[in-house]
Every structure is written in C-alpha cells, then in structure tokens.
Structure 1
Amino acid sequence: MFKAKGTELYQRLGLESQVQGASPHQLIALLYNSATAQLEQALLADSQGKDDVRRKHVAKCLGVIGGLSESLNFDVASDLPYNLHNLYLYMQGKLVQNQRQFSKSDCEEILALLETLSDGWGGIASKVN
C-alpha cells in the first residue's frame, strides 16, 4: 500500500514539474497524452474484468477531454476550434454511453481519434516553438 502511494506521489510530482515548465502548446500535448493514457488504462481494466477501475479511467478521460474543449480559442478566423469542439462533444457522448454500457469498439475509436489529434498537434510543434 505504501509503495502504491509513493509511486502515485512521484508521478504527480513529475507531472506537476512538467506542467510548471510547459508552454501552452506543451500543455495541450500533455492533455492529449493524459486522455490517451486514461483510455488505455480503461481498456486494460476491462480486459481484467475490473469494471470499477474501468469506469474511473473513463471518467478521468471525460474530464481531460472537457479540459481540451475548454482550452479552445474561438476568437480566431477559422472553423478549426468549432470542428474540434464538435469532435470533443462526440467523444464525450461516446464515453458517457460507455459509462452505462461498455463498448470496447467505441473506446478504441476514441483512442484512435485522440492519437490522431495528438500526432497532428505534435506535428505543429516546430512551427509553434
């Protein structure tokens, strides 16, 4: 039990130091990584029959996607923030359904979308930094 709490604290401190020194672009990358990791953990928990753990990770992923949505800047002359907002709403709707009745294929679809968005976000890093 102590080892698990120590590991959790170490991870939290590592994340806090990443966040403190991160640019706005890097913060979004961290959110994508977090959402992806939470969904991967949800799928793992499902494969192990741990429904409560799965629901916890899906809920965390929902929160992270909410954070991504809140970070959108609609004060630009582009449809991109509106399109991303709609995509985030779609993903959140699927995840809410997953809380009621789990669908591995829906989780895998959302995971693929998050990975695509993360890859695209990473691809513009050199233009931002």
Structure 2
Amino acid sequence: MNINRSAGRTRGAAAYARVGVESDVMSASPHHLITLLFDGADTAIRTAAVHLRDGSRAEKGKAISRALDIVNKGLLAALDFEHGGDLAGRMASLYDYIARLLLRANLRDDAAALEEARRLLGELGSAWREINPKREREGQ
C-alpha cells in the first residue's frame, strides 16, 4: 500500500511540475521561451549522463531523444534565416554539430560527446541570457 501512495505522489509531483512548465511557456516572451529550451536541453543531457553512468540504456536514450528534439525542433527551428543572415547559418551549423554529438553519445555510450554537447549548449544559453531585448528596444 505504501508503494501505491508513493507512486501517486510521484505522479502528482510530475503533474504539478508539468503545469508549472506549461504556465511558464504560456506567459513567456519569445526570448524567455528560448531560455526555457536551453534549460530543458541541459536537464535532458544531465539526465542522460546519469543514466549512462548507471547503465540504463533505455532511459539514457529517452533523455538524449528529448535533448535532440529540443535542439532540432526548438532551437534550430527558432532560427530566423530571413533576418539572421550569416549568424543564423552559423548557429544552424553549430546546432547540427551538437545533434551529431548527442547521436554519437547515444550510439556509442560516449560520455565525452554528451559533455561536449552540454558544454556548448551551456555557453550558448549563457550568452542568450545576457541579451536583454527590452534594453535593446530602449537603445541602451
């Protein structure tokens, strides 16, 4: 009976977390949405690293798949090639490289590739956080 209560609490906590994330997404600015993508990718990669160390291949694969979705369907898809010019093209190449690192990490259980993908995304996320769209609009 304690197992069922524990499982119920876990499901409840997960549902609460989803609602929190959904609320963040619904009220977020486009800039903040990209920040959330970087945060989600970092969480997925850290989760994958834990599962890699623990030898849980299926869970590692799921976490890496989440990270790949964030990179490909989130970050890459958000690039504005019309207005972003050469920078957008370079970012697309970098996201492609990160996706290949994640695939290698998954296929070869390569912890170094996983860490490199996390490091690169971390640097990009940090730079993104430094951008203040409101300040730029005000010309400061």
- What TM-score, normalized to structure 2? 0.86
What code does the residue aligned with 2:94 have? L
Instruction: Supply the distance in 2 between the matched residues of 1:69 and 1:96 (Cα, whole angstroms).
Output: 16
Q: Which has the larger helix fraction?
A: 2
Instruction: Supply the distance in 2 between the matched residues of 1:71 and 1:90 (Cα, whole angstroms).
Output: 17
Structure 1 runs (4+) greater than 4 angstroms displaced: none
Q: Does residue 76 of the first structure (1) align with residue 76 of the second (2)? A: no
What code does the residue aligned with 2:129 have? G
Which of 92, 97, 100 is the aligned partner of 1:93?
Answer: 100
Which of 108, 112, 126 is the aligned partner of 2:115?
Answer: 108
Q: Report percent identity of matched pairs.
A: 29
User: Aligned runs of 1:10-21 on 2, under 5 Å?
Assistant: 10-21=16-27
Which of 46, 63, 66 is the aligned partner of 1:40?
Answer: 46
Q: CA RMSD in A?
A: 1.4
- What TM-score, normalized to structure 1? 0.93
Which of 48, 58, 62 is the aligned partner of 2:64?
Answer: 58
| Structure with larger Rg | 2
- Structure 2, gaps ≥5 residues long: 1-6
Number of aligned positions between the proteins? 129
What code does the residue aligned with 1:96 have? L
- Structure 1, gaps ≥5 residues long: none
More displaced stretch, 6-15 vs 43-52: 43-52
Instruction: Supply the distance in 2 between the matched residues of 1:27 and 1:46 (Cα, whole angstroms).
Output: 28
What code does the residue aligned with 2:82 have? D
